[in-house]
Structure formats: C-alpha cells, structure tokens
Structure 1
Amino acid sequence: MRVGSRRAPSAPFPGLLSSAQFAALAAEYRRACGFEICACDSDGKLRRGGAERPSEGRSVSDLRKHAVSEALRWGEPSVLSDGIEGVLWAIPVCQNQKLLGGLVVTVTRLRRPSKAGALDQRVVSACRVLLELGTRYNLVNAPLLSERRETARREQEKAEALHLMKEGTFDTIRSIYLREEPALIAAIRRGERSAARHAINRVLTAIYMLGQSRIELLKSLALELVVTMTRTAVQAGGNPENILGLNYQSLSRLADISDQEDLAGWLCRMLESLIDAIESNSRLPGSSQLARAVKYVEEHLAEALPREEVARAAGLSPSHFSHLMKARMGCTFTQLLTRMRLERARSLLVHTDAELAHVAAACGFTDQSYFTRVFRKTHRLTPSEFRRAKRPIRNASAPKSQTSARLYKPGAAVRC
C-alpha cells in the first residue's frame, strides 16, 4: 500500500474535457481576460473550480444553472446579476444534443459605468472569448448555438415588424419599405449581405401580414419591393444594364411561384444578385477604403474597435475588409490595430509624463497589465523600461507639439 499518494482530480466532463485540459483552458482564459472559470453540471453543481457561497437567498448553483440554460436558449453567453453587485456568465457544454453542464465565470463585480446603461467592456469581451475557447476545445455544439442565435434574431425582427404594423403607422408596402430603406442602402453599398437580409426580412414580415395567405397579393407586394430595391441598387453603384437583365429573368420566374416559402427564397436570391451587381461595378478602389479605415482607427484608437465597426466606417463588408487588409497591407486587422496602439503608446511614453494606466487607456488597452504584456512581447522591454531608455532621445528631439503633429497626421500611411 502506497502512503501519501494523492488521488488525481476527476475530469469535469469525462470523455470530453479532462482535468488537465480544464486547467489549461482556465489558465488561458485567465491570461486573456483576467477572470476565473469553473465547471458545473446541468443543475449548476460544481465539478471543478470555484466555491459555493450564498447570494441573497438564491444559491450560486441556481445562478449557474440559469446562466447555462440561458446561454443554450439564446446561443451565446447571457450576463446574469447575482442580486448584489456582481454578475456571471456561462457557455453550455454539450455532447451532440445532450446538455452536460457548463463553463461558468465566477461571480464578478462590475466596474462603475461611465454613463447610465453602459456595459462593462471587459464583460462583453470576456463573453466572446469564453465562447471562442469553448468552440476551440470542442465543448459546445457550435451549429446548434448558431441556429439558436439566428432564431432569436428572426423572432426579434418579426416582433418589431408586427409591433409597427399593429400601431398602424405603416399601411402600404412602400411606407414600410421607406422606413427600412436607409439601413438597406447602407448595407448594399457596403456589400453586407447579412445586414441587408435583416432589413428585407423585416419588410417580408410586414408583407405577409398585409397579404395574409393570398399568394397573388403577396406576389404583387413583392414585385413592388423588388422595383424599389432595384432603384436602391442602381443608386449604390450597380450596373443598370446588368440589373435590368436580372430583373427580366427573375420576373419570368415570379409567375410560377405558388407558395410563400418559394416567394421568400425568390426575394432573397434577388437581393443576392443585386449585391453581386454592385460589387462587380464598385466605384471605390480598395486603397481609398483602406485609407478611410486607417483614419477611423486613428480617430478612435482609445475605444474598443471591433473589425465590423471599422469595416462599416470604410464602406466594406467585414470579410472583404479582411481580404483587402491581407492583400494590400500584408497583415490582419488585429495586427494593424495592435501596431497602431503600440505606436501611439511609444510616443506617449517618450513625449509625455502620463502614468502608465493613462497611457494604456489612451491607446485602447483594457488595463495596464495587459498593456505591459503586449508591449513587452513586442519590444522586449516593459513600458517603464522603454521610457527610461528613450528619455535621452526626447531631450534632443523636436518640441513635443511638433513631434505629436508628425505622429498623428490624419491619413498617414501605416504599415504592418
């Protein structure tokens, strides 16, 4: 009999996630976001990590169970309050269609919001990272969660459209369309098919409510919608001859449609064809759009900057924006953003006496420790060491205002 041997901790999800894998995942999440996670079963009971503690009459295990079920319901982490000053969020751990439990972030106190209704950006980012890690470790049913997110989005759009119709504000297809037209035009010009589909789906809901089950009336309403969409596409830069040819072919197919499902498919194909026609005759060269993107990043460097927001500012779809970035600048958007933030940080360290926390915030880093890690990884020096090493250069260089003007000249080229 061996004395003093320790029993290895049991796997939180046998056959899916071992004890060692959980430790590695938890450490990676801690490094990325600074939060601790635990594993629980489908009833919210701990399997690994964390500690049981009461929370205003409602046990934390109940909160964990609710967080996991809400994440499964909506297809993404849902942030729940513990009833005091803390929150937690989770992702569901599934084996095929069976819910085994979840990975839950232990109760965390929120920072005081800078303005009413503002979300703690750490939490928003940490929710995304947790879902990404769960997907990479094959713990979540990614297709199921994607389907749940899409279902929730469609139901929300349907509810919004029905609410507007019940108010009686819009009683014709044209008035309904005109409400959605600004969003649709912007999406078509950027080539964002998903956003354009969302706008069309809201109009479709209203069409079906107006037309009820009368297929011929629905077809006439759909035809009016296509005419208006065509005008939008031509204004957005589509080739009129190509678009007219598409319309001629599609109108012949419309006559054969006999049910609502086929009609919805026909409209979606029309939308895709119109966006194709616009993209094939784009008026803006990629270099101009990338310059616009770089300028937008420079002007908003202290803020959280998701790729989708910058692409929208440049008038591009996120996927096309990424393709142009790689082809024209030789780097990804994340690499560009980090490079620009570090460039600003170096300038502030050398040319100002600002505290490191203020430098980190001014450059868009979530906290000082993360800023230090990224800076050291790139420069092999901490920000403080870099400042001490470069300060002699500052005394012999141009005045601070002139140096800053050179560093932050709008529209300056940035290389990755």
Structure 2
Amino acid sequence: MNKREVNQDKKLQWLEQLVGRNLLEKMLCSFSKSTGLKAILVDNKGNTLISPDHAKKDCDFCEMIKSDSNGAKKCQRSYARACTEASKYGEPYIFRCHAGLIMWAAPILLDEYVGSIICGQVLMWEPEDYFLEEIEEMVKGLNIDVAAVKWSASHLEIMSSDKVQAAADLLFVVANQIMQSGMTVLEQRREIAAQQARLAEEIQARKRAEVAMNTIESRTKRINSLEKEQELKLKVRNGEKRTAEKLLEKILVDVFSKDSNHLDTLKTRMMELVVIISRAAVDGGAELGEVSQLNTQFYREILEITSPDELCLWSKKMLETVMNYIETNKNQKNLQAIQKAAEFIRKNYRNKLTIDNIAQAVYLSPCYVSRIFKQGLGCTLMEYLTQVRVEEAKAMLKDPKYNVMQVAEESGFEDPGYFTRVFKKLEGVTPSRYKQHAL
C-alpha cells in the first residue's frame, strides 16, 4: 500500500468512526435509488472513499474514460476541484467535468476533514455534432475507443436545469445529515477528552498534594497557631473574656499535645503567650506600668511550676487575671469618660450640641460614648442634655427679670413651643404656670 492509499485509508477510518460506514453507504444508496443517479464520497484530493457496490454503476461513458489510467486521474482532478469549490462556499457546486459531463458536489466539512459527495454524469442539452467533436478532443491521448465513447455520449441522460438544481439540493441535504451525525460524535469526543483532561489534572494535583502533604500540614499548623494567637490578642484587647478563654484552650491543646513531655519548652511557650496577652492588654487601654508588674509576677510563678498539668491550669488563671484587670481598668476609664461627657454638657448646654460634639470632647466614638453613658447613668446623652437645660430653665423662671421666651433661648431651646412641650412633659406643668407658682 503506497503513501496515498495509506492517507486515503486513514481519512476513511476517521470518517467512519464519526458517522459509521453503514450509515454512509445507506445514505448514498438511498439517494441513488430515489434519483437514479450515482453518488460517491470523495476526499479533498478527489480520491474516492465510498462508492457503494450495490448502488448505481457509472454510465458507459464514464466507465470507458476511467478505464484508462490518465482518464481516471483527470476524473480525480475534476472531483478535487469540485470539492474545493463546494467547501469554499459551503453549498452545492454544479460543474462540468474534464470530459464535458454535468456533475455536482455537496460539501462535507467535519473539523479538519474536507470532502464532498459527487453526483451526476448527465447532460443538460441534446448532444450536437460540435459536442461530439469536443469530446473527441477531450479524450485525445487516452487509450480508449473514441467511436464507442462518442456513441455512449449520445445516449447520456439529459436533465433540465431545474432537475439538476433539485438533485444538487437533495444531495446537499444528505451531506448535511452526514455532517450533523459527525458533529454530534465530535462534540461527544471533545466532552470526553475534556473530562479526561480534567481527571488527569486532578490526579496529578492529588499526587503533588500527597508529595507535599507533610510540609503543608506542618506549615498549616504553624499558620493556624499564629492565627489563633492573633485572634486571642484581638479578643483580649477588646475585653471579650469568654471568647478569649475558649481560644486559649485551643492554643493549649496544640501546645501541650506536641510538647507534653518537655516542661521547659512548655514554660517558654507560656512566657510567649504572656507577652502576647500583655501587649493586647496595653493596646486595650491598660497602664503599661501596671501590666509590667503583672508580668513580673507571672514569670516568678512560672519558674515555680513543676508539672505540665499545673502549668496548664496556671495559664488559664493568668488570662483570667489579665481580663479582670482590663475590665476593671475599662470601667474606671468609662466612668471618667462619662463624667467628662456630663461636665461638657453642663458647660455647653446653651449651644447646639450633637452626639458627635460630645464624643469628640471625650475622645471616644459616638457609638461607644452613647453606650457607656446609657449604662452608667441610665439615660441617653440627649436625655441628659434636655434634663440639664430644663433644670437651668427652672432656675431662670424663678427670676422675675426673665420671661418664658428668654428662658427658652438662654437654656438652649431654639423653639419656645418645643421648650414648652418638653418642660411640661418633665415637670407636669407649662413654663408659664411654673413661673406663676415660683414667684
């Protein structure tokens, strides 16, 4: 088998895998039976891939032309050119072969495969003398009986242009059906190939993961330990005692499960935790000097510990001591902030005050100062401001030189009507009635 035949065989095998030889032969045979015309499948080189044996044979004219090797090659070149033109435009291509017969090609385009279904071997007009003379010129040089060829040409089937076009369109339908069948298989193949590629990649990824598992696990433990310590620091700084205690328990499990038999190593890790917790306490507002005194006490206690169990229990108590100190310190600072806020209100009640103004005066956020003020005094900042203004208004109403409108303005109420409503709500009487009874 020469190289051309090998390539031809490969193309046919590839096409048969996509569509199936039985289906290809069945469609070509059905077309031939329905039209009375022979149909063959060729590749883009003009090589015949499928020519069903039980379908219609070549006409006598074509058989004589192909009986000569040069004639067969000319037929092949005609098929190749027709295949190229049909694939170029993607529609049926009607052409005249080298021997002068009318034929047509329907393109088949599947992925990288290019081929056509070739059909025809007819005439579209009655053969005249000049046509027979033309045929004699066309077959010159072929080792065939020219007279017999001319005689067979005069007996070729004649089809009208409409019938030729209809047959070409029908052939195009057949070609499209073949392409659709092939494309379905191609798509399935692509999906399978993509899935196999994904599976192969996943397998390789798992192998790489297994190889690096020990290293990754070790790094993960270190990262998790650092993350827990950072989270513990955040909870201590924010005074979240219960959450901090739970985090410390997790850290202790990691530390003691790894170095349970090395007391000195455990003590070193606990000292590191003391430093972390102490820094968090200072960040949370604790006094550095007082925290340093606590640390000195903690270090002395660690040195006296003689067992891991005792060290574990001490660690929990150490955190509790720091958290209680932070809470006490925070309460003291909150009380100071509340006092400063109240003092600021009493000094500036005549001005237009907002929660933001008050928060800026005590160097706290509006939300935080509002919360601790409510917790400490049982009323909101604005309620306290209103109470201060009303108390000042009561004192001024007892003075004959002030009328109600003056009292409202001087006590920080911009709207006398609002002043009257607020005053009556708190004191049970209007400012005017209160003034009458006070004088």
Q: TM (normalized to structure 2)?
A: 0.29
Larger Rg: 2
TM-score, with normalisation over the residues of structure 1?
A: 0.30
